[in-house]
Chains A and B, each alone.
Chain A
Amino acid sequence: MVKLGFSAVLHQPWRIRKFNFLEIGQGKNYFDEELNKSLFKRISRKSYLPTLKIMTELAEDHKDFRINLSFTGSFLDQAERYRPKVLTALKELNKTGALEIAAETYYHSLAFLVSAGEFDAQVKLHLKKMKELFNVRPVIFRNTESFYNNDVAKAAERLGFKGIITEGSEKFLGWRSPGHPYRADGTKLMLLLRNYRMSDDIGFRFSAPMWEEYPLTADKYASWMSAVSDPYVMIYIDFETFGEHHWPETGIMEFLRHLPSEMSKYSNVSWVKLSELLKLKPVDSLDIPWFVSWADVDRDLSAWLGNRMQQSAFNSHKSLEADVKKTADPELLETWRKLGTSDHFYYMSTKFAGDEEVHNYFRCEVYSSPYEAFSNYMNILQDFKLAVKNKLARVK
């Protein structure tokens, strides 16, 4: 019996606008309202709305269908601001009972590397939002971009979670399969591992004509799933896989639409909510002292902190925490948190091997180069630093 935990994440960063060095200190706004709005609307039209509609219909037509989603707070805030229909559609899906929601950091941030206080604050903000919008208290936690080590598991346990998600990477699995239940070392938490091969079949390879399995159809995928001998398979992909990364013309929407009926032909496959996997008995515990993530071929933090620009920008941002909090100004705090979203650092990556295409895919809408991404970010941070300084001076 294979339990299929089919999951996707919904996230949008608050992209910053082009900010000239000469504008530092002029108190101008940082976020590109027009760009954020137009991208959100486009992605809603191409991906969020049609996909959520299909998922809701599937939940209504197949009573065994289950779907797992996680959202970032910045995604939900943008939905509220630019396309409230998306929230309505999410609530509709939630009403079917087929949806389970996992927790994330509110701002899709590297807050775990900033401070324990900030990490806890962002997770709690997220839990509060889930309660408000969907009346749920997630028991599974997924850190930003699945970045993880033993200490992240401990922090998640402190915050009351029962399970935690990360990448099923050979780096720590070795010969072992990601489809067995493991305990996170030193905790009672269940470690849920993403099957990246079967996830990437949909997320990356689906529309690649060079792939030997192209075109991937729902019946083919269902047959692969039924052939799995592990207790579970967790698929985790970007939600925009449906309709945005792969356009509707590729057949991705039909693939999704037909997946449940194709799966139902195999009696040994069942859809599950991720929390159902917590009942499995762990075969072992996994000790992961160093950071892993789901990004790039490196599967570590180098996509965000791989070069000196990224490290310097991250540290400059981090160093403002105490002062920002001292101002007790909610607006400054929110701005600082939006600037801590990992995407800003991702745009600054200069990695070349293999992944540059993915980086460029996500960057091209905003910056022509990592150097612009960095300098633009730093200009804004300089301006923000002045704003914080001024506020503190006034408080005193």
Chain B
Amino acid sequence: MEGIEIRIAMLTSELFPVFAGGLGKAVYNFAKSLENQLDITIFIPKLEWDGDLNCKIVEIPFDLTLHVYKTREKFSYAEDWDSRTQTDNFNRALTKLVSLEQFDIIHAHDWMTFPAGIELQKQGTPLIVHMHSTEYDRTGGNPRDWVVKMEKAGMEAADLVITNSRYLQCELEKLYGIPASKIRVVYNGINMAKFQKSFFGTKKLGPYVLFVGRHTIQKGLWQLLHAARLVIDKRPETKFMIVGKGPDTPSLIKLAAELGLHENMIFTGQVSEEQLVAAYRLADLFVMPSVSEPFGLVALEAAAAEKPIIISKTSGVAEFFYHCFKVDYWDIRRLASHILELLEYSPLSDEMSVRGFREAQNFTWDKVSQGLVHVYKEVKHG
């Protein structure tokens, strides 16, 4: 890859390890995979960022009406980032700072940075917008109008749009009217080694089914709880570990109680990276019953931790991952059936986890960076 001289400005509202959700992690990993090949500058809000990247990091100081940057606390600020004014302020400051330097390409991640991207493109720098999810996905079909407009404007203006799955590409075509000809798919990658850690000792919990994700309507937790009821009727000793939190957490806890599942459901809340790896490694199987899931990195992580996985057909990962169960998110009885089968038939769960692990190894960051460089070249050289 040497000899490519492309200067990239990456614009993002989150960056691991100071992050809220998948976006910050994804941008960090993209940057990590490219740090030694390209000249990358990452523009982020003032986060007191202290990660390890061989890139230039520029923090944007700007007026905040909310104190959302107590960054060491594990709360999500994306959900607080809901005012138009705040977005405008951020983008104004962002545009100003980026335009002080010379770049070949602006790579803007998700809608929060699109207005700046558009402005900078007007000043002459080609723009790539990267859609990690859509407002429709994040809000369970109740999108904020002004956010949708911002997403649409960004994609329409952009020279090229990057998404992380064909599934998401179809949504962009359908919901935003973006032509397929300007969309490029770059799948996410995974750091396999991180999930290889062994955890010894007795597993006090007994057999458990793992879920990881934000508690929003799009994640299919309502369906999972109802499936859990059917599973527990057959195998009362089964536990369900629900990692993460979100706006729906209280109503889910209430539903679990109503279904009589209080002894079987474990709501862990947000956990550390270390705890998350342990949760994967000790689980018997992993479920991702999302109603809509642009990619579904958690499913690849579970496969990397050598666990059998059940995923919904309405997810990005379902379009390329073979060694798993795929279900319709609304088919609660089938979901319950597959959970029971994986708990009951060890040859099934062994075969699936061994094959799934090997399959997950295909999703290397090398491939991701090749994909990104390819898109950069296309934009730069036409």
- Using CB atoms and an 8 Å cutoff, list the residues of chain A in contact with chain B: 20-22, 307-309, 311-313, 350, 368-372, 374-375, 378-379
Contact = CB atoms under 8 A, between A and B. Distances in A.
Contacts of B336: 21-22
B261 interface: no
Interface string B33-60: 0000000000000000000000000000
B337 interface: yes
Contacts of B348: 309, 371, 374-375, 378
Interface string B103-147: 000000000000000000000000000000000000000000000
A375 B341 contact: yes
B340 A307 contact: no
B39 to A, nearest CB: 40
Contact of B325 (A307, A369, A379): A369
A378 B322 CA distance: 20
Interface of B (DSSP majority class): helix
Given A369-B323, A374-B347, 13 more contacts: A20-B333, A21-B234, A21-B336, A21-B340, A22-B340, A308-B351, A309-B347, A312-B345, A350-B323, A369-B326, A371-B348, A375-B338, A375-B345
A145 B336 CA distance: 36
Interface in B274-333: 322-326, 333
Nearest to B341: A375
Contacts, number: 60
14 contacts: A20-B334, A20-B337, A21-B340, A22-B230, A307-B351, A311-B347, A312-B345, A369-B322, A371-B325, A374-B347, A375-B337, A375-B348, A378-B348, A379-B341
B352 interface: yes
A378 B351 contact: no
Contacts of B347: 308-309, 311-313, 374
Interface in B51-88: none
Contact of B234 (A22, A307, A311): A22
Interface of B: 230, 234, 322-326, 333-334, 336-338, 340-341, 344-345, 347-348, 350-352, 355
A308 B350 CA distance: 8
Contacts of B337: 20-22, 375, 379
Contacts of B341: 21, 375, 378-379
B155 to A, nearest CB: 33
B326 A309 contact: no
Contacts of A309: 345, 347-348, 351
Residue picked from A21, A312, A368, most chain B C-beta under 10 Å: A21
Contacts of B234: 21-22
B333 A22 contact: yes
A374 B345 contact: yes
A350 B355 contact: yes
A350 B344 CA distance: 20
B324 to A, nearest CB: 7
Nearest to B340: A21
A185 to B, nearest CB: 35
A369 B324 CA distance: 8
A242 B381 CA distance: 52
